[in-house]
């Protein structure tokens, strides 16, 4: 039954835009068993039944991946791979051999893994949603029930859920699913990333308050304000939708390059994870690639890929941008992997706090060949291509680290840079930048390290916000060091995709902004509506604010919107 009367629920807006449609919730998850036993003679049949269910669920996910692209396809394949995890299957079979039913064994095995992943934090904690999704899909398959997940609408809906697994959000039709709202999640969650790719409004972290809005209730979703209004005034809702439609038409018709209304240039680049994504971004409005995440080539590999195999992948990212002339460049990030993104062939030990452990460049300390081979492969990939190739290292913290990495790059004719994720680099920006040719600021990690707040925790979303003045201050330090040294300083974290924050970043002195390709036009439109002096004034206002909410409000008052 639809909700009656007006009601407003607030969350964290992660993708701007207006949507007006009835609420639909995900298909109910199966009622999980709390026990169940079998006779010893039934063990093998139950094991076989479980094996068949795993194959069916994995095939379903892989089939959906074949019809998806970009991030959606990647997360579906990653979920399919996790479904077939040998450790999970071993745990289930062991429980079945203790006379547990397959359903009960699956629930226990997954719940044990969820507990372990939550303790590890970082990327592991993020995968708990995937694990629970796999659990529910396998249980449903064992029972012969319909696959749980998102509805298949025939008219526009606002999709509401407690949380959304990658398998839920991948493959959504943005013409029918016009907005996403979840109780959990943060600005860097899978839901937010997929929503940006789809270009639809998205609000996360509403908490249980969203449950007060019943199914079929018509709501107005404002992704910028982070509000969901049940049963809004129809005329006001129609006006808001019309205004949003006009804005979206401007976004769709925007053509680069990125610059303010008075002609101040800000490079707008794409974040990509594959050659396919690079080709799609190059066909759009991106001026180059500001972040190629190379770890996607490694995470599922049982052994280190050879130099030729790596080079082929890197070349597939470089080729779409080759021959453009000017200063077109592709920034390749070396492995951002470690204990929270384990490599099967690196043999890392489990760490108490993986987010602060051996990850990124630190992985090369005990495994220098891993970095050397990657740089060799990048050097091979760029041969014969008319394009600038920049290479940056993640998780750099000291001047000697930057110097050593830069030397290894220059030995191979590569243009070296480092990521500003560790506050120590921003605080020591002039000395670190003296060793390399550019900075790229990873606002996701820089924010969590500055605010001591896990970026995956919905409970800390208010702290884990790039609008925090302390984070903006560190960005300013890095950007101003770039201006003094006449070296580029970009932002490749999710903050770059926020159109209002993008203007503030330009005002702080950032020279390029890199984001998911679908977010580029909205940022380009926003920059084109203001002068660089307005951006600088907004940056000053945000820096002087006491908190993130006030910083955003002060910037909006100056820039409008």
Residues marked as catalytic:
190, 492
Beta bridge partners of 359: 338
CA distance 198 to 70: 10
Query: Is the peptide bond between 257 and the residue preceding it cis, with omega within 30 degrees of 0?
Result: yes
Q: Where are the beta strands (DSSP E) in 136-212?
A: 157-161, 177-182, 202-204
Rounded Cα distance, 481 and 433, in Å: 7
SS3 16: coil
Instruction: Identify which of 159, 10, 8, 9 has the alpha carbon closest to the alpha carbon of residue 462.
Output: 10
CA distances from 527 to 18, 208, 558 (A): 20, 36, 13
Q: How far apart are CA 561 and CA 225, in angstroms?
A: 10
The burial class, CB within 10 Å (0-12 / 13-18 / 19+), for 125 is: buried
d(CA 192, CA 372): 34
At residue 100, φ and ψ (nearest 5 deg) are: -90, 150
Helix/strand/coil for 453? coil
3-state secondary structure at position 416: strand
Distances (CA, A) of 12 to 42, 184, 217, 443: 50, 10, 21, 17
Which residues make beta-bridge pairs with 341? 338
Chain centre to alpha carbon of residue 55: 28
C-alpha distance across the termini of the chain, in Å? 35
The Cα–Cα gap between 411 and 342 comes to: 29
Residues 373 and 308: their CA atoms lie apart, in Å, by: 10
- Tokens (6 digits) for 513: 């902004």
In 439-547, alpha helices (H): 443-451, 469-485, 499-508, 520-528, 532-543
Give CA–CA dist 400/406, Å, rounded: 10
Q: Are 392 and 419 in contact (CB under 8 A)?
A: yes
Alpha-helix runs per DSSP H in 121-210: 122-126, 128-143, 166-169, 190-198
- Please identify which residue in the block is written with the tokens 């394009």: 387
Would you say 220 and 489 are in contact if contact means Cβ atoms under 8 Å apart?
no
492 burial level (CB within 10 Å; 0-12, 13-18, 19+): buried
């Amino acid at each position: 039954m639809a909700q009656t009367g007006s009601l407003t629920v607030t969350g964290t807006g992660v993708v701007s835009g207006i949507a007006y449609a009835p609420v639909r919730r995900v298909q109910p998850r199966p009622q999980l068993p709390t026990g169940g036993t079998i006779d010893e003679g039934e063990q093998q049949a139950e094991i076989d039944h479980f094996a068949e269910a795993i194959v069916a669920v994995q095939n379903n996910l892989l089939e959906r991946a074949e019809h998806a692209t970009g991030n959606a396809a990647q997360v579906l394949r990653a979920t399919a791979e996790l479904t077939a995890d040998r450790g999970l299957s071993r745990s289930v079979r062991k429980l079945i051999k203790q006379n547990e039913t397959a359903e009960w064994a699956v629930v226990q095995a997954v719940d044990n893994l969820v507990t372990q992943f939550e303790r590890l934090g970082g990327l592991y904690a993020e995968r708990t949603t995937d694990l629970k999704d796999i659990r529910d899909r396998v249980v449903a398959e064992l029972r012969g029930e319909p696959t749980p997940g998102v509805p298949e609408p025939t008219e526009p809906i606002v999709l509401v859920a407690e949380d959304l697994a990658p398998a839920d959000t991948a493959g959504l039709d943005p013409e029918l699913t016009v907005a996403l709202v979840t109780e959990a999640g943060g600005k860097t969650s899978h839901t937010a990333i997929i929503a940006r790719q789809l270009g639809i409004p998205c609000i996360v972290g509403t908490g249980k308050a969203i449950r007060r809005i019943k199914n079929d209730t018509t709501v107005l979703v404002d992704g910028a304000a982070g509000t969901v209004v049940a049963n809004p005034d129809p005329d006001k809702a129609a006006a808001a939708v019309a205004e949003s439609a006009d804005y979206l038409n401007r976004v769709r018709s925007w053509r680069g390059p990125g610059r303010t209304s008075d002609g101040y240039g800000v490079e707008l680049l794409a974040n990509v994870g594959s050659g396919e994504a690079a080709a799609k971004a190059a066909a759009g409005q991106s001026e180059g690639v500001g972040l190629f995440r190379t770890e996607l080539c490694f995470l599922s590999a049982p052994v280190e890929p050879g130099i030729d195999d790596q080079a082929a992948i890197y070349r597939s990212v470089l080729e779409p941008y080759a021959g453009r002339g000017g200063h077109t460049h592709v920034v390749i990030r070396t492995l951002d992997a470690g204990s929270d993104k384990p490599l099967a062939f690196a043999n890392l030990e489990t760490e108490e706090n993986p987010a602060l452990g051996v990850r990124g460049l630190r992985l090369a300390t005990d495994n220098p060949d891993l970095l050397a081979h990657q740089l060799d492969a990048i050097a091979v990939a760029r041969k014969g291509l008319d394009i600038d190739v920049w290479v940056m290292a993640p998780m750099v913290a000291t001047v000697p680290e930057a110097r050593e990495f830069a030397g290894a790059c220059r030995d191979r004719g590569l243009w070296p840079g480092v990521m500003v994720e560790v506050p120590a680099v921003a605080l020591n920006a002039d000395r670190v930048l003296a060793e390399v040719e550019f900075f790229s600021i990873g606002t996701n990690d820089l924010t969590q390290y500055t605010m001591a707040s896990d970026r995956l925790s919905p409970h800390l979303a208010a702290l884990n916000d790039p609008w925090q003045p302390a984070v903006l201050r560190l960005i300013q330090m890095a950007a101003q060091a770039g201006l003094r040294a006449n070296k580029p300083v970009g932002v490749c974290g999710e903050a770059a995709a926020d159109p209002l924050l993008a203007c503030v970043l330009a005002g702080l002195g950032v020279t390029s902004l890199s984001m998911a390709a679908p977010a580029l036009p909205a940022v380009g439109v926003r920059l084109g509506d203001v002068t660089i002096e307005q951006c600088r004034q907004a940056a000053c206002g945000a820096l002087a604010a006491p908190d993130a909410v006030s910083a955003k409000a002060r910037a909006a008052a100056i820039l409008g919107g």
